[in-house]
Amino acid sequence: MLALAAILFSLTMQSPVAKRITYEDDVKPIFQGHCLTCHSAAQMTAGLNLEAYPGVLKGGGSGDVVKPGRSAASLLYQVIAQDVDGVPRMPFGQPKLSDREIAIIREWIDQGLLADYTSTPKGEAAAPVAFKAVDTWNETEKLQPMPLNLASVPPSDVTRPHPVTALAASPRAPLLAVAGHEQIFLYNLKTHSSAGILPFPEGIPYVLRFSFDGTTLLAGGGRGVQQGKVVLYDVRTGKRIAVIGNERDIVLAADISPDGKKVALGGPGKVAKVFSASDGQLLYEIRKHTDWITALSFSPDGTLLATADRAGGIFLWNSPSGAILINLAEHKDSVTTLAWRSDSRVLASGGEDGELVLWNAQDGFPILTDTKTHVPKANGPVYGKPPSGILSCDFLVDGRVVTVGRDRIIHIFGSDGKPQSSTSTFDQLLTKVAGTAITNVIAAGDYNGRVILWDGHKTEFFDPSR
């Protein structure tokens, strides 16, 4: 029997309305107090004049210092935030700016470098990309692919709980798939009961994905420095449809295209490979990455493939041909998660640098970058920068984003990327998160193998291995 425990909690609401930050009223006074000794019209160290608005836009001897809408990629912000290795720390020879002053400059850049209240934001992609609901499913079909009479598989005999290394929710049925040790647990979200167990003798599943129609479950994983494979299962029968790939190391990232014809995978080999799902033949390889491939995802319309790596690199590719389209440069550490909005217009990425970035998929411009939401609350003295990594994200059916990270909290962001609500802090690290299309419940997995179900008012816990 599965044990369920309900716990009520209050939501932390944050206003999405932000004050308009301008150079004249907000930023210039900060420069006057800290920067003009070296960067004024009279003393243009490195060719940079921060005394006047045109000087900031002109930049210095090394080029632009601000990029509208992109504080994390702006040299000016990097040197004052002092959180990027290899860049100078400013103000030179003086204490670091206060958190409030740094936040003002960050917001000024992200809002589009407003000169004054009569200004309009610079950068065409400074505004959010409106969410367009996509009618991707005919409700009259009532197709809800659920497991039926799966073969009995006993749970693995493990000495300690296995962390939830992968989690996926069916887009067409009240079904959740949870990774275990050499197994995949299926859970019925309506009856709150086990729906069966699928064997994964290849090793540990590190990625789980349902197909667009919910009839196929993809599992990718393996054993470190031994093997990596992707297995496709028939959701109703539990039978293996195909085994794809023969990697020398684990598969860390994988996805199945919306039409079900292609499977992409990647891992420590630094090469993303795209196969035919029908016969397992290699269609093309992507060799642009310089580090482990940690995440990849097909866009819901099937035209794009996003790939990400441990060095913070993200690329968009033409899905049919494998041709490179856009380099998405923003993250400063390993990218842990990628997720597409259902209209294929926005890509979300999260990483160990604590950044959640929403990307305009048409031009590769960051719509919004959040760097503060996942910073853990300190319990006692903190030495150095607290770990604020984002470990998993997903889009909900209404265009909002749900994330989990090292602060052990589930966060929801609005379709504009602004923090909207959150849970209380859980007792274990949350490793994965998934939005469910059928039940409107958010599912999260933790380090101790539990799954948490949150409907916005209460939480339920269950152990899928019992």
pLDDT digits (tens, 9 = 90+) for 99-150: 899 999 988 998 889 988 777 787 644 566 888 777 555 444 557 899 998 8
pLDDT tens, residue by residue, 257-289: 999 999 999 999 999 999 999 999 999 999 999
DSSP calls for 369-406: EE-STTPPPPSS---SSPP--EEEEEE-TTS-EEEEET
DSSP calls for 156-196: P--SSPPP---EEE-SSSSEEEEEETTEEEEEETTTTEEEE
| pLDDT, mean of residues 443-449 | 96
| pLDDT, mean of residues 414-421 | 88
Identify the band that residue 385 occupies on the pLDDT scale cut at 50, 70 and 90.
low
Helix (H, G, I), strand (E, B) or coil at 24: helix
pLDDT tens, residue by residue, 373-384: 888 877 766 666
Q: What is the pLDDT of residue 141?
A: 52
**What's the chain's average pLDDT?**
88
Q: What is the pLDDT of residue 12?
A: 33
Enumerate domains of the chain plus CATH numbers: 23-110 (1.10.760), 140-462 (2.130.10.10)
Greatest Cα pair distance in the chain: 80
| pLDDT, mean of residues 205-222 | 97
Identify the band that residue 442 occupies on the pLDDT scale cut at 50, 70 and 90.
very high
In this model, does residue 8 exceed pLDDT 70?
no
In this model, does residue 362 exceed pLDDT 70?
yes
In this model, does residue 319 exceed pLDDT 70?
yes
Q: What pTM, to 2 d.p., does this model score?
A: 0.79
In this model, does residue 1 exceed pLDDT 60?
no
Contacts (Cβ under 8 Å, ≥6 apart) of 184: 177, 178, 197, 198, 200, 205, 208, 217, 219, 233
In this model, does residue 446 exceed pLDDT 60?
yes
Share of the chain above pLDDT 70, in %: 91
